[in-house]
Protein backbone atom coordinates (compact mmCIF):
# COMPACT_ATOMS: atom_id res chain seq x y z
CA UNK A 1 0.00 0.00 0.00
CA UNK A 2 1.26 3.46 -0.88
CA UNK A 3 0.90 6.35 1.56
CA UNK A 4 -0.93 9.45 0.40
CA UNK A 5 1.08 12.68 0.54
CA UNK A 6 0.49 14.81 3.63
CA UNK A 7 -1.20 18.15 2.92
CA UNK A 8 0.39 21.40 4.05
CA UNK A 9 -0.73 22.55 7.51
CA UNK A 10 -3.78 24.83 7.41
CA UNK A 11 -1.89 27.52 9.31
CA UNK A 12 1.67 28.88 9.30
CA UNK A 13 4.23 29.19 12.11
CA UNK A 14 3.59 32.42 14.05
CA UNK A 15 6.87 34.10 13.10
CA UNK A 16 6.19 33.85 9.36
CA UNK A 17 3.99 36.82 8.52
CA UNK A 18 5.37 38.13 5.25
CA UNK A 19 3.49 37.69 1.98
CA UNK A 20 5.49 38.24 -1.18
CA UNK A 21 4.55 39.43 -4.64
CA UNK A 22 5.20 36.52 -6.99
CA UNK A 23 4.25 34.90 -10.27
CA UNK A 24 1.87 31.96 -10.29
CA UNK A 25 3.52 28.58 -10.88
CA UNK A 26 2.52 26.99 -14.18
CA UNK A 27 4.02 23.53 -14.84
CA UNK A 28 3.53 23.87 -18.60
CA UNK A 29 5.61 27.06 -18.73
CA UNK A 30 7.99 26.65 -15.81
CA UNK A 31 9.03 22.98 -15.95
CA UNK A 32 11.21 21.46 -18.70
CA UNK A 33 11.82 17.95 -17.40
CA UNK A 34 14.53 15.80 -18.98
CA UNK A 35 16.04 12.43 -18.10
CA UNK A 36 19.54 12.27 -16.51
CA UNK A 37 22.32 10.93 -18.71
CA UNK A 38 23.82 8.94 -15.87
CA UNK A 39 22.37 7.24 -12.82
CA UNK A 40 24.91 5.93 -10.30
CA UNK A 41 23.57 3.20 -8.05
CA UNK A 42 24.11 2.47 -4.38
CA UNK A 43 25.85 -0.73 -5.50
CA UNK A 44 28.25 1.37 -7.65
CA UNK A 45 29.08 3.34 -4.50
CA UNK A 46 30.00 0.10 -2.75
CA UNK A 47 26.91 -0.25 -0.57
CA UNK A 48 26.23 -3.85 0.43
CA UNK A 49 22.97 -5.74 0.65
CA UNK A 50 22.15 -4.65 4.22
CA UNK A 51 22.38 -0.93 3.39
CA UNK A 52 20.50 -1.36 0.13
CA UNK A 53 17.72 -3.23 1.93
CA UNK A 54 16.86 -0.08 3.93
CA UNK A 55 15.50 1.75 0.88
CA UNK A 56 13.13 0.97 -1.99
CA UNK A 57 15.37 2.90 -4.44
CA UNK A 58 18.62 1.57 -5.95
CA UNK A 59 19.78 5.10 -6.89
CA UNK A 60 22.68 6.89 -5.22
CA UNK A 61 22.88 10.00 -7.42
CA UNK A 62 22.16 11.13 -10.99
CA UNK A 63 24.00 13.46 -13.31
CA UNK A 64 22.39 16.93 -13.63
CA UNK A 65 19.31 17.07 -15.86
CA UNK A 66 17.16 19.99 -16.94
CA UNK A 67 14.25 20.60 -14.60
CA UNK A 68 13.17 24.24 -15.14
CA UNK A 69 12.57 26.12 -18.37
CA UNK A 70 14.28 29.50 -18.85
CA UNK A 71 11.02 31.14 -17.82
CA UNK A 72 10.91 28.90 -14.75
CA UNK A 73 14.46 29.90 -13.81
CA UNK A 74 13.66 33.61 -14.11
CA UNK A 75 10.48 33.25 -12.04
CA UNK A 76 12.13 31.16 -9.32
CA UNK A 77 15.14 33.45 -9.09
CA UNK A 78 12.92 36.50 -8.61
CA UNK A 79 11.11 34.73 -5.76
CA UNK A 80 14.34 33.59 -4.09
CA UNK A 81 15.97 37.02 -4.28
CA UNK A 82 13.03 38.40 -2.29
CA UNK A 83 13.13 35.50 0.20
CA UNK A 84 16.87 36.06 0.77
CA UNK A 85 16.00 38.73 3.37
CA UNK A 86 14.58 35.96 5.56
CA UNK A 87 17.57 33.59 5.25
CA UNK A 88 19.67 32.86 8.32
CA UNK A 89 23.36 32.05 8.79
CA UNK A 90 23.82 28.59 10.28
CA UNK A 91 26.02 28.25 13.35
CA UNK A 92 28.59 25.54 14.03
CA UNK A 93 30.30 23.57 11.30
CA UNK A 94 27.87 23.80 8.37
CA UNK A 95 28.53 27.53 7.65
CA UNK A 96 25.70 27.89 5.16
CA UNK A 97 23.21 30.70 4.66
CA UNK A 98 19.86 29.04 4.33
CA UNK A 99 16.10 29.36 4.39
CA UNK A 100 14.04 26.39 5.52
CA UNK A 101 10.46 27.73 5.59
CA UNK A 102 10.24 28.90 1.98
CA UNK A 103 7.12 26.84 1.24
CA UNK A 104 5.20 28.83 3.89
CA UNK A 105 6.36 32.14 2.40
CA UNK A 106 6.04 31.46 -1.31
CA UNK A 107 3.18 29.75 -3.06
CA UNK A 108 5.32 29.56 -6.21
CA UNK A 109 8.00 27.58 -4.39
CA UNK A 110 5.39 25.33 -2.74
CA UNK A 111 3.56 24.61 -6.00
CA UNK A 112 6.88 23.92 -7.78
CA UNK A 113 8.31 21.38 -5.33
CA UNK A 114 4.90 19.68 -4.86
CA UNK A 115 4.00 19.66 -8.58
CA UNK A 116 2.56 16.25 -9.59
CA UNK A 117 4.55 16.38 -12.86
CA UNK A 118 7.80 16.80 -10.92
CA UNK A 119 6.83 14.08 -8.43
CA UNK A 120 6.09 11.62 -11.25
CA UNK A 121 9.43 12.41 -12.89
CA UNK A 122 11.53 12.06 -9.72
CA UNK A 123 9.62 8.90 -8.76
CA UNK A 124 10.47 7.37 -12.16
CA UNK A 125 14.15 8.24 -11.63
CA UNK A 126 14.12 6.89 -8.06
CA UNK A 127 12.29 3.74 -9.12
CA UNK A 128 9.80 4.16 -6.28
CA UNK A 129 6.80 6.49 -5.79
CA UNK A 130 7.72 9.64 -3.86
CA UNK A 131 5.71 12.26 -1.98
CA UNK A 132 6.78 15.72 -0.75
CA UNK A 133 8.44 15.27 2.62
CA UNK A 134 5.74 15.54 5.33
CA UNK A 135 7.80 18.21 7.14
CA UNK A 136 7.54 21.50 5.21
CA UNK A 137 11.01 22.62 6.34
CA UNK A 138 12.40 19.82 4.13
CA UNK A 139 10.20 20.52 1.10
CA UNK A 140 12.33 23.36 -0.23
CA UNK A 141 15.55 24.05 1.60
CA UNK A 142 17.19 27.10 -0.03
CA UNK A 143 20.98 27.59 0.17
CA UNK A 144 22.53 31.00 -0.50
CA UNK A 145 26.25 31.67 -0.91
CA UNK A 146 27.82 33.20 2.21
CA UNK A 147 28.83 36.89 1.94
CA UNK A 148 32.42 35.87 2.73
CA UNK A 149 33.62 33.78 -0.24
CA UNK A 150 36.44 32.24 1.82
CA UNK A 151 33.79 30.19 3.61
CA UNK A 152 32.46 26.99 2.08
CA UNK A 153 28.87 27.20 0.90
CA UNK A 154 28.28 23.93 2.73
CA UNK A 155 30.88 21.50 4.15
CA UNK A 156 30.93 17.70 3.69
CA UNK A 157 27.82 16.03 5.09
CA UNK A 158 25.07 13.52 4.50
CA UNK A 159 21.49 14.77 4.56
CA UNK A 160 18.97 14.21 7.33
CA UNK A 161 16.34 12.84 4.97
CA UNK A 162 16.14 10.13 2.33
CA UNK A 163 15.44 11.71 -1.05
CA UNK A 164 16.34 15.12 -2.42
CA UNK A 165 17.15 17.01 -5.57
CA UNK A 166 19.64 19.87 -5.77
CA UNK A 167 18.58 22.53 -8.24
CA UNK A 168 20.93 25.27 -9.46
CA UNK A 169 19.00 28.51 -9.77
CA UNK A 170 21.81 30.75 -11.06
CA UNK A 171 23.92 30.38 -14.14
CA UNK A 172 26.85 28.26 -12.90
CA UNK A 173 29.01 29.49 -15.81
CA UNK A 174 29.10 32.91 -14.14
CA UNK A 175 30.50 31.47 -10.90
CA UNK A 176 34.11 30.71 -10.04
CA UNK A 177 34.22 27.75 -7.66
CA UNK A 178 31.24 26.83 -5.50
CA UNK A 179 30.95 23.49 -7.25
CA UNK A 180 28.83 20.70 -5.89
CA UNK A 181 30.96 17.64 -5.10
CA UNK A 182 30.25 14.18 -3.81
CA UNK A 183 32.31 11.32 -2.44
CA UNK A 184 32.11 8.16 -4.54
CA UNK A 185 31.92 5.73 -1.65
CA UNK A 186 29.95 4.62 1.34
CA UNK A 187 29.13 6.29 4.65
CA UNK A 188 31.40 3.78 6.40
CA UNK A 189 34.32 4.93 4.23
CA UNK A 190 33.41 8.58 4.85
CA UNK A 191 33.37 7.87 8.60
CA UNK A 192 36.80 6.27 8.41
CA UNK A 193 38.20 9.25 6.47
CA UNK A 194 36.69 11.96 8.68
CA UNK A 195 36.69 10.30 12.09
CA UNK A 196 32.92 10.66 12.41
CA UNK A 197 31.63 8.06 14.88
CA UNK A 198 28.26 7.44 13.28
CA UNK A 199 25.85 8.49 10.57
CA UNK A 200 24.46 11.31 12.72
CA UNK A 201 27.94 12.82 13.03
CA UNK A 202 28.28 12.67 9.26
CA UNK A 203 25.41 15.18 9.04
CA UNK A 204 27.39 17.76 11.01
CA UNK A 205 29.62 19.23 8.30
CA UNK A 206 33.26 18.22 7.83
CA UNK A 207 36.16 20.20 6.35
CA UNK A 208 38.31 17.07 5.81
CA UNK A 209 40.04 16.91 2.42
CA UNK A 210 39.01 13.61 0.84
CA UNK A 211 41.16 11.66 -1.67
CA UNK A 212 40.81 13.57 -4.97
CA UNK A 213 40.31 10.41 -7.01
CA UNK A 214 37.18 9.62 -4.99
CA UNK A 215 35.61 13.08 -5.29
CA UNK A 216 33.32 13.84 -8.22
CA UNK A 217 32.15 17.32 -9.23
CA UNK A 218 28.64 17.63 -10.59
CA UNK A 219 28.73 19.79 -13.71
CA UNK A 220 25.62 21.91 -14.07
CA UNK A 221 25.42 22.97 -17.75
CA UNK A 222 23.10 25.91 -17.00
CA UNK A 223 20.65 27.39 -14.53
CA UNK A 224 17.54 25.27 -14.03
CA UNK A 225 19.43 21.95 -13.95
CA UNK A 226 19.19 19.62 -10.98
CA UNK A 227 20.41 16.27 -9.87
CA UNK A 228 18.57 13.77 -7.71
CA UNK A 229 20.05 11.65 -4.93
CA UNK A 230 19.39 9.63 -1.82
CA UNK A 231 21.07 12.35 0.20
CA UNK A 232 21.58 10.30 3.35
CA UNK A 233 23.69 7.77 1.37
CA UNK A 234 25.81 10.38 -0.45
CA UNK A 235 28.53 12.35 1.38
CA UNK A 236 28.55 15.72 -0.39
CA UNK A 237 29.41 19.41 -0.18
CA UNK A 238 29.09 22.71 -1.98
CA UNK A 239 32.65 23.97 -2.35
CA UNK A 240 34.04 27.40 -1.62
CA UNK A 241 33.49 30.19 -4.16
CA UNK A 242 36.72 31.58 -5.59
CA UNK A 243 35.19 35.02 -5.91
CA UNK A 244 31.94 36.49 -4.57
CA UNK A 245 28.92 35.51 -6.62
CA UNK A 246 25.25 34.75 -6.45
CA UNK A 247 24.89 31.04 -5.95
CA UNK A 248 21.44 29.87 -4.97
CA UNK A 249 20.35 26.25 -4.83
CA UNK A 250 16.96 24.85 -3.94
CA UNK A 251 16.82 21.41 -2.36
CA UNK A 252 13.34 19.88 -2.58
CA UNK A 253 12.98 16.94 -0.20
CA UNK A 254 10.87 13.81 -0.64
CA UNK A 255 9.86 10.64 1.14
CA UNK A 256 9.05 7.18 -0.23
CA UNK A 257 5.31 6.49 -0.32
CA UNK A 258 5.97 2.80 0.25
CA UNK A 259 6.16 2.63 4.04
CA UNK A 260 7.34 -0.99 4.06
CA UNK A 261 10.82 0.57 4.32
CA UNK A 262 11.98 2.49 7.41
CA UNK A 263 11.64 6.27 7.68
CA UNK A 264 15.17 7.62 7.32
CA UNK A 265 14.42 11.17 8.45
CA UNK A 266 16.94 11.87 11.23
CA UNK A 267 14.37 13.12 13.69
CA UNK A 268 16.25 12.48 16.96
CA UNK A 269 18.85 15.18 16.46
CA UNK A 270 16.16 17.80 15.81
CA UNK A 271 15.75 18.05 19.58
CA UNK A 272 19.25 19.55 19.70
CA UNK A 273 18.72 22.42 17.29
CA UNK A 274 15.21 22.81 15.99
CA UNK A 275 13.02 25.73 17.05
CA UNK A 276 9.58 25.09 18.53
CA UNK A 277 7.55 25.32 15.33
CA UNK A 278 9.52 22.36 13.89
CA UNK A 279 8.14 20.25 16.76
CA UNK A 280 4.69 20.76 15.23
CA UNK A 281 6.00 19.59 11.85
CA UNK A 282 7.63 16.62 13.59
CA UNK A 283 4.38 15.72 15.37
CA UNK A 284 2.47 15.85 12.06
CA UNK A 285 5.19 13.69 10.44
CA UNK A 286 4.85 11.05 13.17
CA UNK A 287 1.04 11.18 13.03
CA UNK A 288 1.15 10.76 9.24
CA UNK A 289 3.41 7.70 9.47
CA UNK A 290 1.11 6.18 12.08
CA UNK A 291 -2.09 7.01 10.20
CA UNK A 292 -0.83 5.56 6.92
CA UNK A 293 0.57 2.42 8.54
CA UNK A 294 -2.61 1.81 10.54
CA UNK A 295 -4.68 2.35 7.38
CA UNK A 296 -2.49 -0.26 5.65
CA UNK A 297 -2.97 -2.69 8.54
CA UNK A 298 -6.77 -2.25 8.44
CA UNK A 299 -6.69 -3.20 4.76
CA UNK A 300 -4.26 -6.10 5.07
CA UNK A 301 -5.14 -8.01 8.25
CA UNK A 302 -6.77 -11.35 7.36
CA UNK A 303 -9.02 -13.79 9.26
CA UNK A 304 -6.56 -16.62 8.67
CA UNK A 305 -4.19 -14.76 11.04
CA UNK A 306 -6.79 -14.97 13.83
CA UNK A 307 -5.00 -17.69 15.78
CA UNK A 308 -1.74 -15.81 16.28
CA UNK A 309 -2.38 -13.12 18.87
CA UNK A 310 1.32 -12.39 19.25
CA UNK A 311 1.69 -11.72 15.49
CA UNK A 312 -1.34 -9.41 15.55
CA UNK A 313 0.09 -7.50 18.51
CA UNK A 314 3.38 -7.13 16.64
CA UNK A 315 1.58 -5.71 13.61
CA UNK A 316 -0.18 -3.11 15.74
CA UNK A 317 3.06 -2.22 17.50
CA UNK A 318 4.90 -1.87 14.18
CA UNK A 319 2.20 0.45 12.86
CA UNK A 320 2.60 2.88 15.77
CA UNK A 321 6.34 2.45 16.36
CA UNK A 322 7.24 5.76 14.65
CA UNK A 323 4.61 7.57 16.70
CA UNK A 324 5.99 6.23 19.99
CA UNK A 325 9.62 6.79 18.95
CA UNK A 326 9.01 10.43 18.07
CA UNK A 327 6.88 11.00 21.18
CA UNK A 328 9.88 9.74 23.15
CA UNK A 329 12.19 12.14 21.33
CA UNK A 330 9.87 15.03 22.14
CA UNK A 331 9.96 14.03 25.82
CA UNK A 332 13.77 13.97 25.73
CA UNK A 333 13.69 17.39 24.07
CA UNK A 334 11.42 18.68 26.82
CA UNK A 335 13.88 17.45 29.46
CA UNK A 336 16.77 19.10 27.58
CA UNK A 337 14.92 22.40 27.40
CA UNK A 338 14.34 22.36 31.12
CA UNK A 339 18.05 23.30 31.18
CA UNK A 340 18.27 25.44 28.04
CA UNK A 341 21.55 25.53 26.15
CA UNK A 342 22.51 27.33 22.98
CA UNK A 343 20.29 26.13 20.16
CA UNK A 344 21.48 26.49 16.60
CA UNK A 345 20.78 24.71 13.33
CA UNK A 346 22.87 21.63 12.63
FE1 LIG B 1 23.04 18.26 1.54
| 158 lies in the same domain as 302 | no
pLDDT for 95 equals 58
One domain for residues 237 and 298: no
299 domain-assigned: yes
Residue 92's domain comprises: 27-262
Q: Which residue among 227, 262, 297 closes a domain? A: 262
- Residues 257 and 278 reside in one and the same domain: no
In a domain, 49, yes or no: yes
Count Cβ atoms within 10 A of the Cβ of residue 308 and give its class: 0-12 exposed, 13-18 middle, 19 or more buried. Answer: exposed
Distance 339 CA to ligand 1 centre (A): 30
Number of domains into which the chain is organized:
2
Q: Is residue 205 one of the residues assigned to a domain?
A: yes
Q: Are residues 228 and 149 in the same domain?
A: yes
The answer to whether residue 166 is domain-embedded is yes
Q: Are residues 184 and 134 in the same domain?
A: yes
pLDDT by position in tens, the chain (length 346): 899 999 999 999 988 887 788 999 999 999 999 999 999 999 999 999 999 999 999 999 999 999 999 999 999 999 999 999 888 877 665 657 888 889 999 999 999 999 999 999 999 999 999 999 999 999 999 998 877 777 767 889 999 999 999 999 998 888 887 789 999 999 999 999 999 999 999 998 899 999 999 999 988 999 999 999 999 999 999 877 888 888 899 999 999 999 999 999 999 989 988 899 999 999 999 999 999 999 999 999 999 998 899 999 999 999 999 999 999 999 999 998 886 554 544 4
- Those residues whose C-beta lies under 8 Å from the C-beta of residue 210, and which sit 6 or more positions away, are 156, 183, 190, 193, 235
* Residue 343 in domain: no
Residues in the chain: 346
| CATH number, domain containing residue 46 | 2.60.120.620
Residues 134 and 241 in one domain: yes
Residues 233 and 318 occupy one common structural domain: no
pLDDT at 153: 75
Q: What is the largest CA-CA distance in the chain?
A: 70
Annotate 15-31 with b (16+ C-beta within 10 A) or e (fewer).
eeeeeeebbebeeeebb
Same domain, 221 and 253: yes
pLDDT of residue 346: 43
Please state, in angstroms and as integers, the Cα–Cα distance from residue 280 to each residue in 2, 3, 92, 190, following that order. 24, 20, 24, 33
The 8-class DSSP code of residue 2 comes to: B
CA of 159 to the centre of ligand 1 (A): 5
Instruction: Report how far ligand 1's centroid is from the alpha carbon of 108 (Å).
Output: 22
Select from 236, 262, 288 the last residue of a domain. 262
Q: How far is the CA of 166 from the centre of ligand 1 (A)?
A: 8
Q: Measured in Å, how far apart are the chain's first and last C-alpha atoms?
A: 34
Task: Identify the pLDDT of residue 174.
Answer: 85
Q: Ligand 1 centre from 309 Cα, in Å?
A: 44
Question: Residue 14 domain-assigned?
Answer: no
Domain contains 5: no
User: From the CA of 236, how far away is ligand 1's center (Å)?
Assistant: 6
CA of 40 from ligand 1 middle (Å) equals 17
Same-domain status, 243 and 147: yes
Are residues 95 and 135 both part of a single domain?
Answer: yes
Same domain, 132 and 281: no
Choosing from 262, 282, 305, the residue where a domain stops is: 262
Tell me, in angstroms, the distance from the centre of ligand 1 to residue 96's CA.
11
Q: State the pairing for strand pair 253-256/225-229.
A: unpaired
Specify if 18 maps to a domain. Answer: no
Question: What is the structure's pLDDT at 344?
Answer: 47
Same domain membership, residue 128 and residue 70: yes
Amino acid sequence: MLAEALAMPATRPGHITRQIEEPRFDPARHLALTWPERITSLADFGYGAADRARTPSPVAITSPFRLLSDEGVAALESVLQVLKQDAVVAQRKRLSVFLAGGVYRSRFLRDLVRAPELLDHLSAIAGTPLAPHPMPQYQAYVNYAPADPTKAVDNWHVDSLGFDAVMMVNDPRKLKGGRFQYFHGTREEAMALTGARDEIELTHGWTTELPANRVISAEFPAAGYAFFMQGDYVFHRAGQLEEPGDRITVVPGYIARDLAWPDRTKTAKMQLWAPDHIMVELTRHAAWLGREKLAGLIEQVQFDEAGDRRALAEKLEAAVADVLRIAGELRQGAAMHASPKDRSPG
